[in-house]
Amino acid sequence: MVCNYIGLATTPHDPALAIVNSKGEVVFAEATERYLQNKRAWCSSPEDIIRTKGLLEKYCDKNADLVIATTWTKQYIYLNKMLFLNPLRKYLVKILFNESSKQEQIKWTHHLAMIASFYNPHAGETISAQMYQTDPLIRINKRTYDHHLTHAAAACYSSPFNEGICAIIDGHGEGVSTSFYQYKNGKITSLSRRLKSRESLGLYYITLCRLCGFSSTKGEEWKVMGLAAYGKYDENIYKILQSLLTVKEGVLVEGKDSKLARIKLNELRVEPDDDPLKAADLAYTGQLFYCDIVIKLLEDLYRHGISDNLILGGGCALNSSCNGILMEKTSFKKLHVYSAPADDGNAVGAALLAYYEDNPPQPQRSLAKFQTPYLGETMSPKSLAHLKKYNGLKALDITKEYVPQKTAELLAQGKIIGWVQGRAEFGPRALGNRSILADPRAVDIKDRLNITVKFREEFRPFAPSILHEYGDEYFENYQESPYMERTLRFKKEKINEVPGVVHIDGTGRLQTVKREWNEKFYELILAFKKITGIPLVLNTSFNVMGKPIIHTVEDAVAVFQTSGLDVLVIEDQIYIKENNFS
């Protein structure tokens, strides 16, 4: 049976859609927030009724049957629905007698929106209806998969390994917060499902995020990692955290004095309107404690003697500061983290699980290969034509072959550049196709970017995108980081060369760039190296704070025209603000 496989990530936050063709290739993957331009796309459907039909026509094999795979099993969805019903009935009775408070109304408005997306038994109906209208003879099959298993599938099937041990660490799955799997020759086997959701590193980090005055709903855990570098160790805070969580024989367990610890931690809370730097010591110590727990958990896992290869997934795998020290602090020899390890990546995981259910991997055939992160949409040709005709900007008259060279020259002159090329990245990082680029040699570039372009806090760092062959020259214990998924320490003698991408603690969340992964971005950095002697550029996502990465030509132009960007390079055309060139 020839089939296309549609994966839907249906968690209330970070929904996404992925398409795997009949050959098992991931041909499309995109988080819903990009299309909606609504950060994290809370309580939104991953199968937008207007857009989905066009995606299916563009990326699916013609005249093939369809399998729609979703994350979260039917049993878990049903169980949680039941848990909501009794309190919901009580609330509806209060409404009937006009006894509900404003606070209750707000709470249940939120809950009902969550139920509508998370506990939606009709996920996939839009796709089914549209495909039936297109071809009534197409057979459509629906499947659901365990939440953590879809995390594991996305992580394992994207890895460069034929075998490894997979750790999924997040807020909560289907009754657990942490799961372990063995991966070998395409087969994923569960090792343990003993951890209750309450004992959760993901929920711990959410708590830390809120204590620091940030919003976990907005996904501001990144801010904790950035702020941590400005703080110092606080022994009193660390002791409180030790009373909250611990690891025993490979299991995350609640501390015996956890209730008292929560009370003490709440006394340290920094309000959102306060100076974030007040929370710097809390962020530093909280991040240190998180790393210590993860290291202990993974060391206990390694002692099972299954593999030297660690495959990490789940929302906690986005903690790049922790990822960067795992090869140094644990016994594992290699680490893989996918470009989308959080819930959006489950769309890919679900689709691949369905594919390999129908097409079991053959032991003699290796699945290990580089999984490109460039799986999203391209810029609309119509919009590009309209921009060229109506933009009102100055366009540089150059050939497309010269675009990387000219862009490198502009970077070397100190210009801040919006860089839009090819297909969008899948996952939260800009990896050279939807990026804002700058010269890492400039001492003041962090302030310029944060104040005039990104409109965000001064402590937020920027990433170095470096040519792979020069990684060892700039980083201690260099490791390939294709998805910008780990933070490494710069060599001391290199820090003054590239101050724009060195965080205050001497680290950088790097992206490894190879020609075979992204030729045009590679050529740009190589040209910059020839001009300046520096084989890396500053790279940050093409967006402003609080908004998703740009999705359309119109999004790119809007950010360009309403921020301090000097140049917009979109495909093979370079636009400049003439007032910024003298």
Determine if residue 40 is left, alpha or beta; phi over 0 gives left, psi from -120 to 50 gives alpha, anything else beta.
left
Per-domain boundaries in the chain:
1-158+338-371, 201-336, 381-580
Total number of residues shown for the chain: 582
Determine if residue 161 is left, alpha or beta; phi over 0 gives left, psi from -120 to 50 gives alpha, anything else beta.
beta
CATH homologous superfamily of 381-580 equals Carbamoyltransferase, C-terminal domain (3.90.870.20)
Q: 295 CB contacts (<8 Å, ≥6 apart)?
A: 325, 326, 329, 330
Residue with tokens 């997306």: 117
Strand locations in 110-162 (E): 140-145
β-bridge partners, 168: 179, 313
Continuous segment of H or E residues that includes residue 235? helix 235-242
Cβ neighbours, 10 Å, residue 547: 17
Continuous segment of H or E residues that includes residue 155? helix 147-157
Two tokens, residue 92: 């509806």
- 476 CA to centre of own chain: 25
β-bridge partners, 425: 374
Question: Using CB atoms within 10 A of its CB, is residue 496 exposed (0-12), middle (13-18) or buried (19+)?
Answer: exposed
Two tokens, residue 366: 């290796």
Q: How far apart are the first and last CA of the chain?
A: 63
3-state secondary structure of 210: helix
3-state secondary structure of 326: helix
Two tokens, residue 213: 């005055």
pLDDT in tens, the chain (582 residues): 799 999 999 998 999 999 999 999 999 999 999 999 999 998 888 998 889 989 999 999 988 999 999 999 876 665 565 455 555 555 554 555 565 566 665 555 655 566 555 555 567 777 877 776 677 778 999 999 999 999 999 999 999 999 999 999 999 888 889 999 999 999 999 997 555 556 899 999 999 999 999 999 899 999 999 999 999 999 999 999 999 999 998 889 988 888 999 999 999 999 999 999 999 999 999 999 999 999 999 999 999 999 999 999 999 999 999 999 999 999 999 999 999 999 999 999 999 999 999 999 987 778 889 999 999 999 999 999 999 999 989 999 999 999 999 999 999 999 999 999 999 999 999 999 999 999 999 999 999 999 999 999 999 999 999 999 999 999 999 999 999 999 999 999 999 999 999 999 999 999 999 999 999 999 999 999 999 999 999 999 999 999 999 999 999 999 999 999 999 999 999 999 988 876
Q: 507 CB contacts (<8 Å, ≥6 apart)?
A: 229, 321, 324, 487, 488, 489, 490
Two tokens, residue 138: 């197409």
CB distance 513 to 432 below 8 Å: yes
- Nearest partner of 14 among 437, 36, 64, judged by Cα: 36
Distance in angstroms (rounded) separating the CA atoms of residues 467 and 448: 25
Q: ∠ CA 253-326-450 to the nearest 5 degrees?
A: 100
Q: What is the DSSP letter of 514?
A: -
Distance in angstroms (rounded) separating the CA atoms of residues 442 and 457: 19
Q: 237 CB contacts (<8 Å, ≥6 apart)?
A: 268, 281, 282, 285, 286
Looking at domain 1-158+338-371, which of 3.40.190, 1.10.150, 3.30.420, 3.40.50 is its CATH number? 3.30.420
AA identity, residue 310: L
CB distance 387 to 557 below 8 Å: yes
- Nearest partner of 482 among 373, 404, 328, 327, judged by Cα: 373
AA identity, residue 126: T
Distance in angstroms (rounded) separating the CA atoms of residues 397 and 287: 49
Same fold, 1-158+338-371 and 201-336: yes
**CATH dotted code for 201-336:** 3.30.420.40
Give me the numbers of helices (H) and strands (E) for the chain, helices first please: 20, 21
Q: Give this prediction's pTM.
A: 0.93
CB distance 222 to 278 below 8 Å: no
